[in-house]
């Protein structure tokens, strides 16, 4: 059953954003708002783009198609990324660059309160499969055909555009807003789809509730100049690149200076090692390989000290006997044997009156500059003395 309601009313705007028509000349709202401009000046042009083309390449091909179709220079072109197919968009929003700049100037005093400047048909509520058609008091018709298409035109042109659109895809329902437009309304009734004058009546047709400004429309803000943003971005990238070049140059200079200093220290180390090897060859290790200067030098010095100590304590037997002679004569022990043994020195086997006399003899030998060690004590007063000269006696 087809229902056409002759009572027309507009769907409510988003509660947080007022709708302000720039052409009305009314003061700018105090709160956040979206400014609308005549949609006839900002058409959505369809394009034939490959489905696999994405990003900048897709935009480049779209611009070339519009230039080939006769679009003059100075037009502002921006991809219409609406609905769920944001990357595979197939339409571009087109307007005169000078006119866009004028609209941006008009809303500039509002600052951030103006969230976007959009063609009036993009502020209509939208849902998949739904046509939203609004006739204005001044005779213009705005239409939102699903999520990705729309236009604003006079009634006769609007009907022709709708006839072309229905050949491609017929709507599941129509939401008719605004003032009556008899020729257009009569044609809409011939489509055989439910027509309602409010979002509440769409539920019976299985259509989701239409949403205003909820499908990517705010990203098409005509107050924003994408080319200026690209120029600013390129400038920022240049400054970042220059800073990186300076940083890399500074790092290169630092690395070079570190390498030079490292080579200088290596040369100095080689020079010190060569000098140390020369000294080691001259004084301590005259032959053989030099593998570890510190260990070899310490070994040579230890051996030299040991040899010097051995030479100090080592005495000739006659010198020792001469130094101990007077003490031996004074105590008159009975000497049974005199011999020389390596490691002990001059060894004297003797017999003496008692142990006190033996201690006195050892003391007198020490006083005479002879170091006497009792190598062995026998029974009674037999003893073996190992004699060497002391350091003072040997130096003398």
Which residues touch 201 (CB under 8 Å, ≥6 apart)? Answer: 3, 194
**Quick check: pTM over 0.85?**
no
The C-alpha atoms of residue 175 and residue 143 are separated, in whole angstroms, by: 10
pLDDT in tens, 207-242: 888 999 989 899 999 988 866 666 666 677 778 888
pLDDT value, residue 176: 92
Q: Give the count of beta carbons closer than 10 Å to the beta carbon of residue 205.
A: 18
Q: What is the pLDDT of residues 80-111, one digit of tens each?
A: 899 877 788 889 999 988 899 999 999 999 98
- DSSP 8-state class, residue 217: G
Q: Residue 66 class from Cβ within 10 Å (0-12 exposed, 13-18 middle, 19+ buried)? A: middle
Q: What whole-number distance in Å separates Cα of residue 198 and Cα of residue 207?
A: 12
Taking the C-alpha atoms of residue 282 and residue 276, their distance in angstroms, rounded to an integer, is: 10
Mean pLDDT across the chain, nearest whole number?
Answer: 80
Structure confidence at residue 11 as a pLDDT band (50, 70, 90) = very low
């Amino acid at each position: 059953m087809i229902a056409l309601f002759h009572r027309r009313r507009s769907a409510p705007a988003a509660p947080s954003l007022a709708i302000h028509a720039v052409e009305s000349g009314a003061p700018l709202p105090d709160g956040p708002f979206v400014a609308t401009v005549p949609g006839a000046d900002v058409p959505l042009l369809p394009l034939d783009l490959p489905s696999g083309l994405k990003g900048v390449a897709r935009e480049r091909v779209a611009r070339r198609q519009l230039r080939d179709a006769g679009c003059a220079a100075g037009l502002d072109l921006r991809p219409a990324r609406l609905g769920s197919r944001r990357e595979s968009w197939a339409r571009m929003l087109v307007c005169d660059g000078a006119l866009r700049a004028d609209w941006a100037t008009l809303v500039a005093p509002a600052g951030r309160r103006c969230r976007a400047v959009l063609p009036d048909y993009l502020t209509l509520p939208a849902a998949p499969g739904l046509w939203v058609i609004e006739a204005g008091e001044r005779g213009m018709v705005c239409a939102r055909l699903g999520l990705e298409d729309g236009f604003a035109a006079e009634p006769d042109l609007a009907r022709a555009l709708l006839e072309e659109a229905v050949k491609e895809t017929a709507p599941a329902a129509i939401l008719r807003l605004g003032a009556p437009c008899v020729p257009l309304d009569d044609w809409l009734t011939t489509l055989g789809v439910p027509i309602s004058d409010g979002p509440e009546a769409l539920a019976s047709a299985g259509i989701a509730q239409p949403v205003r400004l909820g499908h990517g429309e705010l990203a098409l803000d005509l107050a924003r100049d994408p080319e200026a943003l690209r120029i600013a971005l390129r400038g920022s990238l240049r400054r970042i690149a220059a800073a990186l070049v300076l940083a890399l140059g500074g790092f290169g200079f630092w690395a070079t200076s570190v390498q030079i200093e490292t080579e200088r220290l290596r040369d100095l180390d080689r020079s010190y090692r060569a000098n140390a090897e020369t000294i080691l060859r001259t004084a301590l290790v005259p032959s053989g390989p030099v593998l570890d200067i510190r260990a070899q030098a310490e070994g040579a010095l230890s051996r030299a000290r040991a040899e010097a100590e051995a030479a100090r304590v080592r005495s000739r037997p006659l010198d020792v006997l001469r130094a101990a002679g007077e003490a031996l004569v004074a105590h008159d022990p009975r000497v049974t044997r005199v011999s020389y043994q390596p490691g002990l020195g001059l060894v004297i086997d003797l017999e003496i009156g008692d142990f006190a006399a033996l201690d006195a003899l050892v003391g007198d030998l020490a006083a005479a500059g002879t170091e006497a060690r009792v190598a062995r004590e026998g029974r009674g007063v037999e003893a073996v003395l190992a004699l060497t000269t002391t350091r003072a006696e040997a130096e003398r």
